[in-house]
Amino acid sequence: MIVLSGARQAGKSTLLRNEPPFKDWHYITFDDLDSLALAQRRPDEILGISKNMVIDEVQKVPSFLNAVKKAIDKDRSRRIILSGSARLMLMKNVSESLAGRAVYEDLMPFSNGELNGNKYSGWIEGFMETGSLPSSFTKGQRVGKSNLHSSKGLFRGYLPPLIVITREDQVAAWWKGYVKAYLERDLRDISEISNLSDFRKLMELTALRNATILNQSEVARDASLSQATAEGILISSKRQVLSQESDPIPRTLQRG
């Protein structure tokens, strides 16, 4: 079993509905209200539809994972993909249900190289050796067939729907709707955060600190929040694939 997580509009459903072998599997999404109700009342009926299944937006029914657990334990030859816009591994009731039964993967948005069809150039090793990035990283490079440069690609978050939009005002309008839908629907579905304005404020302040060392106390102070509240919001953002922490690489890193 595979658990595929990713931010909304990162391309999870498109991947699973169009790429082999998944495109030939039975697909069901809990965005559909009838499927959602059936999953809540009679989950075994859903799992009895097919041996190979893709179940999307599964985070909407955490209790459904108990039925999945039983189905997998009963027949280890089954192939099931659970997909959703939350990292199920960070949701306590889910991670306990699927312990030892699932492989967890995140689907990230596009990268410059992916859009251009570039092969890996070994820039990571070069950066570790010299401390310098390739000129294409610092001067901006073309992004695929849309003639975007890296700075404009960053404004789009490299999300697939935005890559084809050329007008900046339309991109801004798209983001406005994305944030509104997320705050008013998704966040309420899977988070206990009650004050949405606090969440939005902290996310904006955190975004300004992208690719820097995150000082949680400083962010909480700038947002006029307690450190405990800020920590809860940051944990929620990681759970919902809105942020990701990277371990620092010390300058004195020794090579073995």
According to the 3-state scheme, what is the secondary structure of 118-133? CCCCCHHHHHHHHCCC
Read off the amino acid at residue 166: T
Per-residue model confidence (pLDDT) at position 32: 95
Q: Positive or negative, the Cα torsion across 200, 203, 207, 209?
A: positive
Residue 74's closest CA among 55, 56, 51, 53?
Answer: 51
Per-residue model confidence (pLDDT) at position 143: 46
Q: CA angle, corner 106, sides to 81 and 132, nearest 5?
A: 155
Per-residue model confidence (pLDDT) at position 13: 94
Q: For residues 158 and 111, is the Cβ–Cβ distance under 8 A?
A: yes
In this prediction, the residues of the chain whose per-residue pLDDT falls under 70 are: 89-96, 136-151, 188-194, 251-256
Read off the amino acid at residue 133: L
pLDDT digits (tens, 9 = 90+) for 37-96: 999 999 999 999 999 999 999 988 988 999 999 999 999 999 999 999 888 766 666 655
Is pTM beyond 0.75? Reply is yes
CA 87 to chain centre: 7
Per-residue model confidence (pLDDT) at position 144: 47
Per-residue model confidence (pLDDT) at position 238: 85
Q: For residues 9 and 161, is the Cβ–Cβ distance under 8 A?
A: yes
Per-residue model confidence (pLDDT) at position 222: 95
Q: For residues 5 and 107, is the Cβ–Cβ distance under 8 A?
A: yes
Dihedral (Cα; 49, 54, 57, 61), 10-degree rounding: 40
List of residues 6+ apart from 17 with CB closer than 8 A = 23, 27, 54
